[in-house]
Amino acid sequence: MGDVHLIVQRKAGTGKTTIATFLADYLIQRQRPGGSLLVLDTDTAHASLSRFPGLQARLVAPAELTDVLVPHRGDAVIDGGPEAHAAIMDHLRDDQTLPRLAQAGHALTVHCVVVGGGAQDDSLANLLDSIRTLPPSIRLIVWLNDYFGEIVSPTGQPFDKMRVYAEHHHRLFGLVTLRARHNTMFGRALQDMLKEGMTFTEAVPSPEFFIMERQRLVMMQREIAGLLDLVLLPNDL
């Protein structure tokens, strides 16, 4: 029994793996009694989550997901690789997938990543495809990743003023905004943490980071946890 969190985006390099580590770190801190966190990676080409040994990610093919999840007791985080995207979506649309997960006591949340910059249109198209084709029983959370640029319409409107949001906001369970930090000391601390294959919880007490770096990581961890509390705590934890 537990909540299954799947991060999807068919385009590579949008921050899916980073978001997976944020989610995993958050859920470990709020783990239910008697449960354990299962971390799965469907990116067989790159196995990105294997760079984070503390998460003990297991590499699986999309067709295996339900069989792996059903016997698990606790929450799960799944990093959906770009090459596996189509197979994952087909698996979710299968008539047997959701009933089997529900029977095992699992609720599914799909986290869709939207980015700014040159990949914005493609990431928005991927979100729209998820909204239109996934069953309404699947909760959708949108992560707005500003790392590559601000997410705005051609007329300068933010995401919550765009047509896709106006027409489909009733299908969205929540929004999480990742502020761009790459040109700041906060961003450098975050990049160093990810480069070392650590989560916030692992990096904050680590002597590999200076005191001020650890403090910046603590502040970012609290900010992200606060955003996730807003979309997950009232219903899940």
Question: What was the pLDDT predicted at 34?
Answer: 61
Tokens coding 80? 């959906």
Residue identified by tokens 């989560």 is 199
Residue identified by tokens 């799965």 is 40
Percent of the chain residues topping a pLDDT of 90: 83
Which of 44-48, 111-115, 120-124 comes out lowest in average pLDDT?
Answer: 44-48
* Overall pTM surpassing 0.85 (yes/no): yes
pLDDT > 50? residue 217:
yes
Q: Dump pLDDT digits (tens) for 131-165.
A: 999 999 899 999 999 999 999 999 999 999 999 99
CA within 13 Å, CB half, 206: 17
Contacts of 187 (CB under 8 A, 6+ apart): 180, 181
Contacts of 231 (CB under 8 A, 6+ apart): 141, 173, 174, 175, 176
Q: Dump pLDDT digits (tens) for 183-208.
A: 799 999 999 999 999 999 999 999 99
Question: What was the pLDDT predicted at 237?
Answer: 43
Tokens coding 112? 């869709």
Residue 142, beta-bridge partner list: 112, 175
The radius of gyration computed from the CA coordinates of the chain, to the nearest angstrom, equals 17
Q: Which residue type occupies 105?
A: G
pLDDT > 50? residue 90:
yes
3-state secondary structure of 188: helix
Residue identified by tokens 């799909």 is 110
Question: What was the pLDDT predicted at 234?
Answer: 57
Burial of residue 31 (number of CB atoms within 10 Å: 0-12, 13-18, 19+): middle
Percent of the chain residues topping a pLDDT of 70: 97
